[in-house]
Structure 1
Amino acid sequence: MSDILEGKIAEENQTIDLDDLRKKFDTEARYRELGDWQGMLITILAVSMSAFHFYTSGFGLLLALQQRAVHLAFVMSLVFLLYPARQSSPKDKIPLMDFALAAVAAYSALYLMINFNELVNRAGLPTQMDIVMGFICILLLLEATRRVSSPILPCIAIFFLIYCFYGRAFPELFQHRGFSIKRIINHMYLGTEGVFGIPLGVSATFVFMFILFGSVLEQTGLGKFIIDLAMALAGHSTGGPAKVAVLSSGLMGSISGSSVANVCTTGMFTIPLMKSVGYQSHFAGAVEAVASTGGQIMPPVMGAAAFIMAQFLGIPYIHVALAAIVPALLYYFAVMIQVHLEANRLGLKGLPKEQLPKLAPLLKEKGLLLLPIIGIIYFLIAGYTPLKAAFNGILISIAVSYFNRETWLTPKKLAAAFENGARGAIGVACACATVGIIVGTATLTGLGLRIASAVVAIAGGKLLPTLLLTMVACILLGAGLPTTANFIVTSTMCAPALFQLGVAPIAAYMFVLYFGIAADLSPPVALAAYAGAGIAGADPFKTGATAIKLALAGFLVPYIYAYNPILVLVNFTLGRFAMSVGTAVLGVFLLGMSTVGFYKCSMNPVFRIVALSGALCLLIPGIYSDLAGLSVLVVLHVLQAAKAKRLNASAA
């Protein structure tokens, strides 16, 4: 990146404290800043955790319950050592109480590992000590989750535990006979149905390794390389900086899986650049938020929820990644179209080519940094497990770093990567373990089927109202839950309703995943949009509203594949697939024209409504609706081109 561009970025960012901004919107960033021996203790614990997972992923996992127990022991001990109980607690030292809680929490999880053989032999017949340790583990897990995320998820989990005990006191539709505390703890703690269920299992294997993979890549300087690559590819085009934001944030978001963290990482470069060429502050913040959020649905890595989806469906992760390609590309195509049309509407140009990195020298110098990502894709397609693919990806990352002196992974950098990887996995792991209580409640009481029946009944057995109710549930839950927890809850409680109405399972799960992610953009709790607004110095609610508009295609695409699942490769035939993708692309193009209000020249309100109608016709499957949408597109093109020609002639 040129000195001129770096100067613009530095000037724009000089009043922004990115650490404070991230801590404001990302609860996982509110950790203690420790030094001396306490800081060293954290480093040793975190590096040990990463080393354990790296070793077991390459040379053989422990048995499921043992792997998950060790994983949770590391996680809970780190939470109590890193995260204060209250905002007013000291941030520069660890109180003795938290040392004690860390030790007890770790032992309560390791108890399953230490006494594994005995527990197996007396399965179903827990001792008093088993129940006591289970109670302690669940209690400390809820407290750890509260510290690292928010009180909302632990409160939901407590409500479900109360439901397990007081089942007879609930309305008739949800009533059950109720279970004793002993039975509840036995179900939630001493097996793989509750806390140590599939969500935590995914966290202890695939998710951790991909977070570690992203952390290792970050230490090689991949983030800066991706931004420079996007600048070289799109920086000179109309509205170039906004397109750079879309490209770079999409690529980084696919690896990191965290909306807010991605906004704060790439946004510090892209948002000032967008503002420097004339984009309004709220628009710049919204573009970065939408692009960063979409990374969780962009293959090859996607977010943690995608790995859990694969486990719920019982299919290889590569099938989920392949199914996600077209919806993700439609999402990013919609954003790209809108930033292009907005740039044309405002008369914004790209950046001068002399200020941009040159593509050929850039690829020659640091292009090898792309090999780990290419390697991950190859290993997944070749049939390797995601665990083995991530393990090999890390090895490739370490190897290619030594081809350039700037990217060397020195022992210090590698230790930092392992420490940051462990820190980055803490929030996901706590959410997965706590949501395991909710999943365990569904399996113990049959609540999932009860809720599905209730949703279908309320919607009158119609698919569209059921989809709308599911969307609202996902967005409301997303206001307080991390994406992974949101997906697990909604896929357990809401997706079965869609199954009952004939929606393909992968389409139903993709539907709840999309709207769980959409909560990061939807006011009043639009964390990614607010983080973008903080960097841009814009009004948070205006930025959030603009982000909703930019992501409108993301809100419509899930409805398309619920009705037409060929977009997620269900009942695939090449001809129908090509037709569906083609009409969806044109529909998204019309949608962009409608939301921006510009094509060739400004569009009046009537034309914008017509464009929206045409977009919906193209997005709805059916030959007659497609023909109607195509007719709208042709007519608008002719009329707008003629209007633009007249305006240019009068201006001349």
Structure 2
Amino acid sequence: MSDRADQVADEDVVVAQDVDEEPIEANRRLFEGWRLTTISVFAGLYAFFHMAALNGLSIERWTGIELPLLPSFPMETWNFRIVHVAGALIIGFLLFAASSFVRERRETPALERVAMVLLIPALFSLGVAIWFAMQIAGGTMWNGIDETIRFREIWLFGAPLWFATVGGIVVGWFSSRHRAGFAMPDIVLSVCAVTVAAYLITIYGTLMRNSTGTPFAPIGISMAAVAGTVLIMEMTRRVAGLALVVISVVFLAYVFIGPTLPGFLNAPAVTWERFFSQVYTDAGILGPTTAVSSTYIILFIIFAAFLQASKVGDYFVNFAFAVAGRSRGGPAKVAIFASGLMGMINGTSAGNVVATGSLTIPLMKKVGYKKQTAGAVEAAASTGGQIMPPIMGAGAFIMAEITGIPYTDIALAAVIPALLYFVSVYFMVDFEAAKLGMRGMSKDEIPNIVKMAKRVYLFLPIVMLIVALFMGYSVIRAGTLATIAAAVVSWVTPYPMGLRKTGQAFEIAGIMSIQIIAVCACAGIIVGVISLTGVGARFSSLLLGIADTSQLLALFFAMCIAILLGMGMPTTAAYAVAASVVAPGLVQLGIPLLTAHFFVFYFAVLSAITPPVALASYAAAGISGANPMATSVTSFKIGIAAFIVPFMFFYNGALLMDGTWAQVIRAGITATIGVFLLSAGVQGWFLGGRTVWFNRVLLILAALFMIEGGWSTDLIGVALAAAVYLVQRFLRPDPSMTFDVRGAD
């Protein structure tokens, strides 16, 4: 029987189907007819534009025909990033409403008419921006000193733009329209996004780029930047919630109240014109976060969309079921394997929970896990996907951009810490299953391992990505080759990708990218505040002061700040913000650059399972039906080793591949033993049986002694573990012994 026939014949035992399809958000519009065609084509062209630009394609080069109205690739960097953000805003405003469609509401035609009135100043400011471009192209000298130019920029361009932007947002909050139609307030905001982009591309195309932050900068730059900043924050609110927006507002407020604050928080006074003329440059919104989202992130979103369109994602999960489904607590181990594979590509812990958790969480409950434990396992596993090389949820690329360290060095350094995390989660769920006497899934409930093995070639896109990266290809070239491989591999499956499916994949990518682009742009606002006010340097001084008392205390303080800054945010934004605030201080403490950034990155990622704001845990609780807070506490417990691992590689750089192979191997072995002991102590299960409370304490102490990485501490840890074994093997204390004395009279 052919391979394709095998696949069709086995449809009755396939466990996973469409696991990587994006969930439909509560405020997402569901278009039909010409509206659906319009948004689909626009989203597909937006994603394809990035693929073309990143690979330096040129229609003129292909055809030999000059097309002056089309962009020639590669585009100028700032212009490319401006178009990148503007395109996401346009698609985002048309696709995501200002409020949820969960409750049926009456339409508000009066507010729609108000929005139609707001369209007039929006279009007027766009026309003025085009007029400015024509004047500049005609040789008019443009600067911020000429009073005539200043008057035109304030009253003909800036004021109408502000009025339309603020009015469109406010009217959008209160207006309502059926889910299948465009809303006029959102069309107004889309026009405003085009206006901001058109003006900035025009001005930054002249010498005015060098004048930002000086009196020579046209005030229109500041006014466009204000409108652009507000649009980005509103888009972020719609697609990622209020957490990042609130933090952005706090940082923006700091710019202007900083001069009145005492101590290390005191900041130099700055006018709004000077600040905003710089924030929409590579010092802020167009800086590292947007640089990464416009290149590596969107490229791997396209890769993920091709995997989704070719159904390779389903195979990943089915393969995980075939390999791990029959072991005790099988679905939990499947969640670890599958979520690690999917999560590294997904780029958001909560999104990965929804994608794979809708399948694994009900199955975990079926084999005996409590609701909150089932949700917590999926949350912890999905969060771990963000630290899994080679993609690391795009975190590796942001780290490379910020630090200047080659991507391959970062991906290689991430291997042992990621393995430690997943090994720890595996031990936690295995010990939990052992305590509860769980069984695995039956042979009839899972895909056939032999037939799954026959299709192992479906891993080829991931393998090609890794091989290309370590052969020295650029990330963009390697990602492009992997994307092409995903399409080619689909031709030997029942879901071959032709022209239509390829177009659908680009459409999926364009829509999937909106959230992460908005989040990265919003994080750029915070990065801009930090860089332009110098608050990061003052925070570094604070860390240095704490380190004079205790370096460990300084690290603990840095951990808390990284977690707090990351709460409620996707991984990329959480790391970008924490890296700007915390990492420079750690470097000044004498910590190696890579170690400092890995330390910050891990805790920014772990904010997704850290109470009280644990996005991944809350998403899992929504699927499992458990209490969100109880789920977040349990996921924190399951992922506890991850809170120890960053301290491990601080004390022992060999865990980040910094040392000889002998040192790296010894560090990996002792650290694995350490996380095993930690898991045993937390779960109260050691070498095949329950263990008494004082043995659990000794096991946790033994694990902590293995952190430092020295021979003496390792020997102490091994000796404590041996003592626990001897006590459990020969003295056999009653595991029911506890500290609780309420039963005593």
TM norm. shorter chain > 0.5 = yes
Counterparts of 1:30 and 1:305, CA distance in 2:
27
Counterparts of 1:239 and 1:122, CA distance in 2:
61
Superposed CA deviations along residues 153-176 of structure 1, whole A, max 9, x for unmatched, are 233323333333444222242333
Q: Which moved more, 1:245-254 or 1:457-466?
A: 457-466
Counterparts of 1:156 and 1:349, CA distance in 2:
46
SS at match of 1:620: coil
Aligned partner letter, 1:524: P
Q: Which moved more, 1:374-383 or 1:412-421?
A: 412-421
- Give the corresponding residue for 1:276: 366
Q: For the structure 1 residues 356 and 156, does the alpha-carbon distance in structure 2 shift closer, same or farther, using more than 3 Å as the test? A: closer
SS at match of 2:384: helix
SS at match of 1:399: helix
Q: For the structure 1 residues 635 and 29, does the alpha-carbon distance in structure 2 shift closer, same or farther, using more than 3 Å as the test? A: farther
TM-score in terms of structure 2 length: 0.80
Counterparts of 2:700 and 2:714, CA distance in 1:
14
- Give the corresponding residue for 2:87: 74
Counterparts of 2:33 and 2:731, CA distance in 1:
70
> Is the contact between residue 342 and residue 352 of structure 2 (CA under 8 Å) also seen in structure 1?
yes
Aligned partner letter, 2:227: I
Equivalences, count? 629
Q: For the structure 1 residues 641 and 30, does the alpha-carbon distance in structure 2 shift closer, same or farther, using more than 3 Å as the test? A: farther
- Give the corresponding residue for 2:139: none
> Is the contact between residue 32 and residue 83 of structure 1 (CA under 8 Å) also seen in structure 2?
yes
- Give the corresponding residue for 1:383: 472
1:237 Cα offset (Å): 2.1
- Give the corresponding residue for 1:214: 304
Q: 2:224 aligns with which of 125, 133, 153?
A: 133
Counterparts of 1:574 and 1:304, CA distance in 2:
28
Aligned partner letter, 1:569: M
SS at match of 1:561: helix
**Deviation >6 Å, runs of 4+:** 1-7, 643-647
Aligned partner letter, 1:425: S
Q: For the structure 1 residues 284 and 154, does the alpha-carbon distance in structure 2 shift closer, same or farther, using more than 3 Å as the test? A: closer
- Give the corresponding residue for 2:318: 228
Counterparts of 2:439 and 2:199, CA distance in 1:
63
Q: For the structure 1 residues 177 and 357, does the alpha-carbon distance in structure 2 shift closer, same or farther, using more than 3 Å as the test? A: closer
Q: For the structure 1 residues 167 and 525, does the alpha-carbon distance in structure 2 shift closer, same or farther, using more than 3 Å as the test? A: closer
Counterparts of 2:627 and 2:387, CA distance in 1:
27
TM-score in terms of structure 1 length: 0.91
Q: For the structure 1 residues 106 and 631, does the alpha-carbon distance in structure 2 shift closer, same or farther, using more than 3 Å as the test? A: same
Q: 1:54 aligns with which of 51, 56, 63?
A: 51
- Give the corresponding residue for 1:37: 34
> Is the contact between residue 504 and residue 565 of structure 1 (CA under 8 Å) also seen in structure 2?
no
> Is the contact between residue 65 and residue 112 of structure 1 (CA under 8 Å) also seen in structure 2?
no
Q: 1:512 aligns with which of 600, 606, 627?
A: 600
Counterparts of 2:443 and 2:711, CA distance in 1:
45
1:486 Cα offset (Å): 1.5
> Is the contact between residue 431 and residue 683 of structure 2 (CA under 8 Å) also seen in structure 1?
yes
> Is the contact between residue 112 and residue 119 of structure 1 (CA under 8 Å) also seen in structure 2?
no
Q: 1:157 aligns with which of 248, 257, 267?
A: 248
SS at match of 2:205: helix
- Give the corresponding residue for 2:343: 253
Counterparts of 1:197 and 1:498, CA distance in 2:
22
Counterparts of 1:492 and 1:115, CA distance in 2:
28
SS at match of 1:489: helix
Gaps of 5+ in 1: 11-17, 648-652
Counterparts of 2:316 and 2:86, CA distance in 1:
35
Superposed CA deviations along residues 319-340 of structure 1, whole A, max 9, x for unmatched, are 1111111101000000111222
Q: For the structure 1 residues 87 and 624, does the alpha-carbon distance in structure 2 shift closer, same or farther, using more than 3 Å as the test? A: same
- Give the corresponding residue for 2:457: 368
> Is the contact between residue 284 and residue 528 of structure 2 (CA under 8 Å) also seen in structure 1?
yes
1:609 Cα offset (Å): 0.7
1:293 Cα offset (Å): 0.9
Q: For the structure 1 residues 117 and 488, does the alpha-carbon distance in structure 2 shift closer, same or farther, using more than 3 Å as the test? A: same
Counterparts of 2:380 and 2:358, CA distance in 1:
15
Aligned partner letter, 1:376: L
- Give the corresponding residue for 1:591: 678
Q: 1:285 aligns with which of 375, 378, 386?
A: 375
Give the structure with higher Rg (CA): 2
> Is the contact between residue 81 and residue 294 of structure 2 (CA under 8 Å) also seen in structure 1?
yes
Counterparts of 2:340 and 2:317, CA distance in 1:
11
Aligned sequence identity (%): 36
Counterparts of 2:210 and 2:724, CA distance in 1:
73
Which runs of structure 2 are paired with 1:439-458 in the superposition (5 Å)? 439-458=527-546
Does 2:485 correspond to 1:396? yes
Q: For the structure 1 residues 62 and 356, does the alpha-carbon distance in structure 2 shift closer, same or farther, using more than 3 Å as the test? A: same
- Give the corresponding residue for 1:15: none
Counterparts of 1:260 and 1:122, CA distance in 2:
41
1:115 Cα offset (Å): 4.4
Q: For the structure 1 residues 5 and 615, does the alpha-carbon distance in structure 2 shift closer, same or farther, using more than 3 Å as the test? A: farther
Counterparts of 1:453 and 1:633, CA distance in 2:
41
Q: Which moved more, 1:35-44 or 1:387-396?
A: 35-44
Q: 1:63 aligns with which of 61, 76, 85?
A: 76
1:458 Cα offset (Å): 4.3
1:643 Cα offset (Å): 7.1
SS at match of 2:270: coil
Counterparts of 2:696 and 2:209, CA distance in 1:
69
Superposed CA deviations along residues 520-551 of structure 1, whole A, max 9, x for unmatched, are 11222222122222322323222222111110
Does 2:170 correspond to 1:170? no
Counterparts of 1:542 and 1:136, CA distance in 2:
41
> Is the contact between residue 568 and residue 608 of structure 2 (CA under 8 Å) also seen in structure 1?
no
1:52 Cα offset (Å): 0.3
Q: 1:343 aligns with which of 424, 433, 454?
A: 433
SS at match of 1:632: helix
Aligned partner letter, 2:457: L
- Give the corresponding residue for 2:131: none
Q: For the structure 1 residues 121 and 419, does the alpha-carbon distance in structure 2 shift closer, same or farther, using more than 3 Å as the test? A: closer
Counterparts of 2:373 and 2:210, CA distance in 1:
61
Aligned partner letter, 2:245: P
> Is the contact between residue 331 and residue 360 of structure 2 (CA under 8 Å) also seen in structure 1?
yes
1:5 Cα offset (Å): 6.7
> RMSD of the TM alignment (CA)?
2.5
SS at match of 2:392: coil
Does 2:272 correspond to 1:181? yes
Superposed CA deviations along residues 104-132 of structure 1, whole A, max 9, x for unmatched, are 11231243334443245764432233333
Which runs of structure 2 are paired with 1:13-28 in the superposition (5 Å)? none
Counterparts of 1:119 and 1:132, CA distance in 2:
18
1:434 Cα offset (Å): 1.8
> Is the contact between residue 196 and residue 433 of structure 1 (CA under 8 Å) also seen in structure 2?
yes
